């Protein structure tokens, strides 16, 4: 009897311990989900503390400290949403791991913001609604607070639903909406708003156009050639050099031009110099790699991986230089107004830039992977060649748009390029005579090898070439085509709707928040 009771107690104890283990596992899972929000809240508190160290005891210090925390919240959301466009294609193409992408983007976003970001802040802080148009400093401060809260909330919502949106459009909409609520429609620079509306169409169309053109060139001159490696030796160094020249001019346009005064001719010379130097280095590197590669599309991926990594870093630097303004532009305007300065030129304290720079990087690390996966792998399937076209398109589109004075959004350019690559692949797979001829040659070689009994390996290589997924060959079933190849239409509608909604949504939110702040003061 005692033995039976002991055995019963033992089984009961084992069951209880098993339940406790499950509870502990569940608690651990829930706790992991709270780590990122907890660290985000800690950063907001730290932003307020940093502001307090510099402004405590000065006029309007309480407002500035609160604004610093709100600016930190905006920076976190920019990092969570906008940075995905810079590193998403490289991650989707497996040129970078998620951890590597987060590390590279965090470093270069911060560097771009701190080195070359200050000039852009003045546009956001005083270029949409002139501080002089709002005579009451308190009203202007509430206007900017409402703008940054509304734009941050909208970006947070967009990130939650998985839509990459333009943070520039969000903050401009927020400033415009609060400006209308504060001082009427006349206070807003409607030319800026009109340019943003035009960029809804211009940016994705240009991004798609350039990305499609480069992918068509790569398919015609490298992928669908019988001797791929020989073609790669000729064209890959040139393509890499074009990317280097484009990024040289891109960084000069988006970053260097804001530090030192350089003309359009000097930017062109800088881009040409980068092209020549990198072409020589790339030619040596490609020759060394090509000597060990098989004549397969899988081999071509290796030649594009390193350029993709560099492109992710350079895009992140330029993004940090340009879009830090969205996080700290309203904050800089609040600091300027609260200090009682009469000058219309908004100064940018270093501590304001630090909050923006590190907030973007932290937001990327804590909340960015969701959008990185969306841009890199959930819209359409990317490999290094396609991702290379997306990155190159982003750089060239900004240069061309700047040259002609066209308003563009880097977010819309990158996502438009991804869509362009995907839709072009659909059309090319169904309609390309070059592709059909290439597949027929490969099929004939495979059949001839089997007939002549040249060996299983050679015949197998020919058959593999016919169904090689890297050259977009048609799988057996249409269901397989839809699963592996086609652009996901649901994402087209979600993202397009979010783009069109961004400015009016953030404007309405900002107007409501401004009116609420007025009631509370």
pLDDT tens-place string over residues 299-314? 888 888 888 898 888 8
Q: Minimum mean pLDDT among 97-106, 265-274, 436-445, 464-473: which range? A: 464-473
Distance of CA 488 to the CA centre of its chain: 19
Per-residue burial over 25-40, b if 16 or more Cβ lie within 10 Å, else e, is: eeeeeeeeeeebeeeb
Confidence of residue 470 (pLDDT cuts 50, 70, 90): very low
Confidence of residue 43 (pLDDT cuts 50, 70, 90): very high
Contacts of 356 (CB under 8 A, 6+ apart): 71, 75, 113, 117, 324, 327, 328, 331
Residue 452 within a domain: no
- In total, how many domains does the chain have? 1
Tokens at residue 288, please?
Answer: 């060394």
Residue 465 within a domain: no
Residue 470 within a domain: no
Range of the domain at 233: 40-431+487-520
Tokens at residue 216, please?
Answer: 């068509």
Residue 450 within a domain: no
Confidence of residue 345 (pLDDT cuts 50, 70, 90): low
If one counts every other C-beta atom within 10 angstroms of the C-beta of residue 347, the result is 15
Choose between 507 and 431: higher pLDDT: 507
Confidence of residue 511 (pLDDT cuts 50, 70, 90): very high
If one counts every other C-beta atom within 10 angstroms of the C-beta of residue 493, the result is 10
Strand partners, 188: 129
Residue 176 and residue 139: Cα distance in Å, rounded? 14
The per-residue pLDDT for 69 is: 92
The per-residue pLDDT for 30 is: 46
Tokens at residue 415, please?
Answer: 């996502």
Residue 233 within a domain: yes
Contacts of 267 (CB under 8 A, 6+ apart): 249, 252, 253, 257
Confidence of residue 34 (pLDDT cuts 50, 70, 90): confident
Through-space distance between the first and last CA atoms of the chain, rounded to whole angstroms:
78
CB 170 within 8 A of CB 499: no
361 closest CA partner among 138, 79, 98, 58? 79
Residue 440 within a domain: no
Residue 45 within a domain: yes
Q: Minimum mean pLDDT among 18-22, 201-205, 215-219, 339-343: which range? A: 18-22
Residue 160 within a domain: yes
Using a pLDDT cut of 90, give the percent of the chain over it.
21
Confidence of residue 114 (pLDDT cuts 50, 70, 90): confident
Residue 213 and residue 304: Cα distance in Å, rounded? 17
């Amino acid at each position: 009897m005692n033995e039976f009771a002991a055995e019963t107690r033992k089984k009961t104890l084992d069951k209880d311990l098993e339940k406790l283990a499950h509870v502990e596992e569940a608690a651990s899972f829930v706790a992991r989900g709270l780590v990122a929000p907890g660290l985000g809240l800690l950063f907001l508190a730290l932003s307020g503390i940093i502001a307090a160290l510099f402004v405590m005891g000065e006029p309007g210090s309480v407002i500035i400290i609160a604004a610093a925390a709100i600016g930190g919240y905006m920076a976190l959301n920019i990092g969570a949403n906008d940075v995905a466009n810079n590193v998403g294609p490289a991650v989707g193409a497996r040129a970078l791991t998620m951890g590597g992408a987060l590390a590279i983007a965090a470093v270069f976003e911060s560097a771009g913001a701190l080195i070359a970001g200050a000039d852009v802040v003045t546009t956001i802080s005083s270029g949409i609604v002139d501080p002089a148009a709002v005579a009451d400093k308190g009203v202007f401060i509430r206007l900017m607070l409402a703008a940054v809260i509304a734009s941050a909330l909208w970006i947070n919502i967009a990130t939650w639903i998985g839509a990459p949106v333009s943070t520039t459009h969000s903050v401009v909409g927020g400033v415009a909406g609060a400006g209308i609520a504060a001082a009427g429609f006349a206070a807003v620079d409607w030319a800026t708003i009109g340019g943003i509306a035009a960029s809804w169409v211009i940016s994705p169309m240009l991004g798609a156009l350039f990305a499609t053109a480069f992918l068509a060139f790569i398919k015609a001159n490298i992928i669908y050639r019988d001797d791929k490696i020989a073609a790669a030796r000729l064209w890959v160094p040139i393509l890499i050099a074009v990317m280097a020249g484009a990024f040289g001019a891109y960084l000069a346009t988006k970053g260097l031009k804001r530090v030192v005064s350089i003309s359009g001719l000097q930017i062109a010379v800088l881009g040409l110099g980068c092209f020549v130097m990198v072409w020589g280095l790339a030619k040596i590197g490609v020759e060394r790699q090509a000597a060990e590669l098989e004549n397969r599309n899988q081999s071509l991926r290796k030649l594009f991986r390193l350029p993709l990594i560099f492109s992710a870093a350079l895009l992140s630097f330029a993004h940090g230089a340009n879009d830090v303004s969205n996080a700290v532009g309203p904050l800089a305007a609040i600091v300027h107004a609260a200090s009682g300065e009469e000058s219309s030129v908004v100064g940018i304290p270093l501590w304001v830039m630090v909050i923006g720079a590190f907030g973007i990087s932290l937001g990327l690390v804590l909340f960015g992977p969701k959008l990185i996966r969306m841009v890199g792998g959930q819209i359409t399937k990317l490999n290094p060649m396609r991702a290379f076209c997306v990155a190159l398109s982003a750089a060239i589109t900004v240069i061309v748009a700047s040259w002609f004075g066209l308003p563009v959004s880097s977010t819309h350019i990158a996502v438009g390029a991804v869509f362009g690559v995907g839709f072009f692949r659909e059309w090319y797979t169904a309609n390309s005579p070059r592709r059909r001829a290439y597949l027929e040659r490969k099929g004939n070689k495979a059949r001839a090898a089997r007939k002549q009994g040249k060996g299983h390996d050679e015949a197998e290589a020919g058959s593999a070439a016919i169904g090689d997924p890297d050259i977009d060959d048609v799988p057996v079933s249409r269901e397989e085509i839809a699963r592996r190849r086609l652009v996901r239409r649901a994402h087209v509608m979600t993202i397009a709707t979010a783009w069109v909604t961004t400015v009016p949504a953030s404007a309405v939110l900002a107007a409501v928040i401004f009116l609420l702040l007025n009631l509370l003061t």
